[in-house]
Structure 1
Amino acid sequence: MEATRRNVLRVLAVGAGVAGAAAISPSALAAYGNGAALREPTLERSPHPDPGRLTGRLVFPDDTDYDDARLGWNRQFNPYPLVIVFCQDAQDVINAITWCRRHDVAFRARGGRHALEGWSAVDGGVIIDVSDMQDVEMDTHARQATVQTGATQDQVVEVLGEQGFAIPTGAEVGVGVAGVTLGGGIGQLSRSLGVTSDSLMSLDIVVPEGEQGARLVRADETQHADLLWASRGGGGGNFGIATSYTYRIHRVSDVVVYQITWDDWRYVGELFRIWQGIAPFADDGFGSVFNPKTRADGHIYCNGIYRGSEYQLREILRPLVSVGNPQVVMDTTSYLDAWNQLAGTTDPPRKTHIPSSWVYDLLPKRGIDTVVRFLAELPDLGGEVWCLNWGGAVDRIATDATAFFHRSPKYYMEWSGNWENDEEQKTVLSWTEQFRQALLPYVKGSYVNVPDSSIGDWATAYYGDNYARLREIKTKYDPYEFFQYEQSIRPY
């Protein structure tokens, strides 16, 4: 065990650079173990694992798949961890947390690798990755689905959709459903079914135990109910590492999927005004995205899913499609097919920055003019604005009923750009920050699943009045603040 500790300290002393990481060999870290002799955890009972062993599928700096294993989707971040632990079950998670605590080694939890600010990775420490845990089990009689923490949104949508069921999720292939859930979860079904976390019934989660250990607990309405409350929108990586989630599933019959495209960018301001006057006020079945690109791109998109008839949808969209000469595609189909049409294929990794905010009151003319002006200014670097209508079922739940706070905006907004080199990065980061400052008179807060490291009062921006209770729960379950990152919830 001492040899293991000395090896870890030697790595940390070398630093986080490429050379330091590459100098470590699996043989030098053999005391970590090879994943053998895994044990099944028992809820509420600490198994007291051997603190000298990490178990699971381990990837070290000189393994051939190290680069693939260490990188996330947002390639502006380039971490060099000591080891990546791909957990195969809850016991691997317990072992990893316990090992890191007893040896005072930094770690981060990782699922789908879409942490937009890179906070699911750490230089010189341990990445505890749960993406190999992907089982999805559905009980149609009980209207429940139990999902392991590494499953992605598309995997869950497919398994449930084949039986005519769904939970409200986003529309991105490859994004982990666990991280989506923990931060709330927004998408085309939100106005009819709520955010993803509103369907969360319980979860199994590994939390700290004492000063050096870890244990697996179940949080539901009868036990650790406060932890369930916090897990419904309190953000990932704050209280522990969840290993499975149980959701209430919803029967979803055929829907109408629609995609509208304008090629004349001159209409962007008029279309934005019309869309924001329609989308938040239509019936709850209307899910809608408004997605104008920069003037350099020249395209304006509106798409979504409607839980109603095609006739009703055409009536809702009539004011929009009467502008210009748009291309309009509509199709009545299963929710699974509709989701796949909108999600497309896996979004390839890139370097990007994506701030976010909530529009509580419709943008006045000056606000819309601000959006148009910024879209006109950015060169052709993948810049866009992405808006999702809000309200309906989301707004019928009190802001303090769960940790997810932003229930009464009219819609959600984010803006982004991409880059490949340093000069383009400076351009994009300057543009996104100036855009954020210019929008401040018209918007509030931010979405914790689309975080922004430049936010000053991030606690209020993400959690509003719920932050005080989140701190109480953090103090109860993680008083030593072992789970921490740049914008993690702080204990008292």
Structure 2
Amino acid sequence: MAVGAGVVGAASISPSALAFYNSNPGLRDSAPVGGGTSSGTGKLTGRLVFPEDPGYADDRRIWNLQFNPYPLVIVFCQNADDVVNAITWSRQHDVAFRARGGRHALEGWSSIDGGVIIDVSDLQDIKLDTDAQLATVQTGLPQDAIVNALGAHNFAIPTGAEIGVGVAGVTLGGGIGQLSRSLGVTSDSLIGVDIVVPQGERGACLIHADEKNYADLLWACKGGGGGNFGIATSYTFRIHPIDDVTVYQLTWDDWGLLSQLLGTWQQTAPSAENGFGSVFNAKTETDGHIYCYGIYRGSEDKLRKIIAPLLNIGDPQADIQTLRYVDAWNLLAGTSDDPVAVHIPSSWAYDLVPDQGIATIRKFLAELPGLEGEIWCLAWGGVQKRTRPDASAFPHRQPHYYMEWSGVWETDEQQSIVYSWTERFRKALQPYLKGSYVNVPDNSLADWPTAYYGDNYPRLRKIKTKYDPHEFFQYEQSIRPL
């Protein structure tokens, strides 16, 4: 069907998508609905959503509202064949595509204007083998579903800490959270992945990568970032038994304590025993709140000794309790249900930030009046210190902690204020922080390959050249072939 004066017009789809529609009147007819039964059929299969369909407006939306793409078609894959067919169709018709899971790509790179979105969020099966301590999960599952499924049997993998965020992006970019100091990043528990990769100049195929087969690709999938080598359809994780934990939440209403609290936290949390997970979160001066919270794999008595230096500052509200790990995770978990417009740069403190740097942080948190902003720091160290930076594609093993700074807006004017603030903040922090986290990407980074991957980038480029020499998988900061 031709698109123009009918149901779909320029107000609801981009000119590039309209042009493709008008030059391909049989598009919908060539794209049968239903799961594919063979690889590379040359037809789109799965649950297809076109611009004229009722659910298109919601189905095209992503979490970060600053991005507003109008894709040509959204392919909700029902199995691996649908992924193969979508990639094959896109290659045969020279149509750009992007892979999408939980819709939380912070720079909007999981969507595309006028192209194909290959969405894997309908793939949500999970299989547990508690005797072998293995879990095989499909790529569309949110990480909270995995935490809850494993937690019902007193097992865990290290994950991030937000409800609704997809396991695909978390794993492929590394995956940092409360258990990272004791169990590593999420991808350290990854032992196998089913992934659809390009085949030849126009096709695609499904392969299984593990330590015996395509081991280089498995290495790259452990921190090399999503959307670079193929589209993963399932992951096999080594799962870890976990006992009851102690969860703590500290709150200060006296924002004037910021410098003392951050200085004390960075001296305490990264050097504590491996079972201690900790977040330091300071809001803007306008908000006035400072938080410290985390999960400790030990007793309340031992926890109180670790956090005593923080408890002795000011008059914090303290909530400490012993819970099953799954309940503790859900207690602390943030939610991603409500889309926002946000910008979140990130970096790593390889050395403790000196007093001058802490004063800089305080200065910038006082400079965003009337808008929501914060810093969010995660204690690092623990088992990470014993892991080589080249053990996987994720290189950031030696920092003391991780830091994000972010701002939220509603209007164009506020967006300009936030972007100016975050960029000036970055430049002011450069003497004290380095690198960045690929799962919190930043289009403003000049040397993003080094920031994300460090010395691992040359090896990632070789693997990219092997599996995607024509660079069919690409976006603004995708890994480049040689």
TM superposition score category, shorter chain reference: over 0.9
Q: Is the 8 A contact 2:35 2:81 kept in 1?
A: no
Aligned to 1:365: 355
- Partner letter of residue 126 of structure 1? V
State the Cα distance separating 1:21 from its structure 2 match: 5.1
- Partner letter of residue 430 of structure 1? S
Match of 1:480 among 444, 456, 470: 470
Match of 1:272 among 235, 245, 262: 262
Q: How does 1:345-424 map to 2 (within 5 A)?
A: 345-424=335-414
Report the TM-score, using the length of structure 2 for normalisation.
0.96
Which stretch of the first structure deviates more once superposed, 18-27 or 117-126? 18-27
State the Cα distance separating 1:230 from its structure 2 match: 0.2
Q: Is the 8 A contact 1:474 1:491 kept in 2?
A: yes
Aligned to 2:28: 30
1:31 alignment partner, SS class: coil
Q: Is the 8 A contact 1:58 1:86 kept in 2?
A: yes
1:393 alignment partner, SS class: helix
Match of 2:195 among 205, 223, 229: 205
Query: Structure 2: how far apart are the matches of 1:28 and 1:210?
Result: 26
State the Cα distance separating 1:201 from its structure 2 match: 0.4
- Partner letter of residue 85 of structure 1? V
Aligned to 1:50: 41
Match of 2:277 among 281, 287, 305: 287
Query: Structure 2: how far apart are the matches of 1:313 and 1:396?
Result: 23
Query: Structure 2: how far apart are the matches of 1:346 and 1:383?
Result: 16
Match of 1:444 among 415, 434, 442: 434
Q: Is the 8 A contact 1:383 1:416 kept in 2?
A: yes
1:77 alignment partner, SS class: coil
State the Cα distance separating 1:19 from its structure 2 match: 6.5
Q: Deviations over 1:243-293 (max 9, x none)?
A: 000000000100001100000100011000000000100000000000000
- Partner letter of residue 479 of structure 2? I
- Partner letter of residue 94 of structure 2? D
Query: Structure 2: how far apart are the matches of 1:15 and 1:82?
Result: 14
Report the TM-score, using the length of structure 1 for normalisation.
0.94
Q: Deviations over 1:113-163 (max 9, x none)?
A: 000000001100000000000111110011000000000010000000000
- Partner letter of residue 282 of structure 1? A
2:68 alignment partner, SS class: coil
Q: Is the 8 A contact 2:35 2:46 kept in 1?
A: no
Match of 1:99 among 64, 69, 89: 89
Q: Is the 8 A contact 1:15 1:124 kept in 2?
A: no
Q: How does 1:49-448 map to 2 (within 5 A)?
A: 49-51=40-42, 53-448=43-438
- Partner letter of residue 418 of structure 1? V
CA distance 1:15–1:458, shift in 2 (3 Å): farther
RMSD over aligned Cα, in angstroms? 1.8
Aligned to 1:11: none
State the Cα distance separating 1:393 from its structure 2 match: 1.3
Unaligned runs of 5+ in 2: 4-9
Query: Structure 1: how far apart are the matches of 2:26 and 2:286?
Result: 53
Q: Is the 8 A contact 2:101 2:169 kept in 1?
A: yes
Give % identity: 66
Query: Structure 1: how far apart are the matches of 2:360 and 2:85?
Result: 51
State the Cα distance separating 1:28 from its structure 2 match: 4.9
State the Cα distance separating 1:349 from its structure 2 match: 0.6
2:413 alignment partner, SS class: helix
Query: Structure 2: how far apart are the matches of 1:137 and 1:32?
Result: 35
| Number of matched pairs | 474
- Partner letter of residue 254 of structure 2? D
Q: Is the 8 A contact 2:249 2:294 kept in 1?
A: yes
Query: Structure 1: how far apart are the matches of 2:463 and 2:66?
Result: 33
State the Cα distance separating 1:31 from its structure 2 match: 2.5
Q: Is the 8 A contact 1:16 1:124 kept in 2?
A: no
Runs (4+) off by over 3 Å: 14-28, 344-347
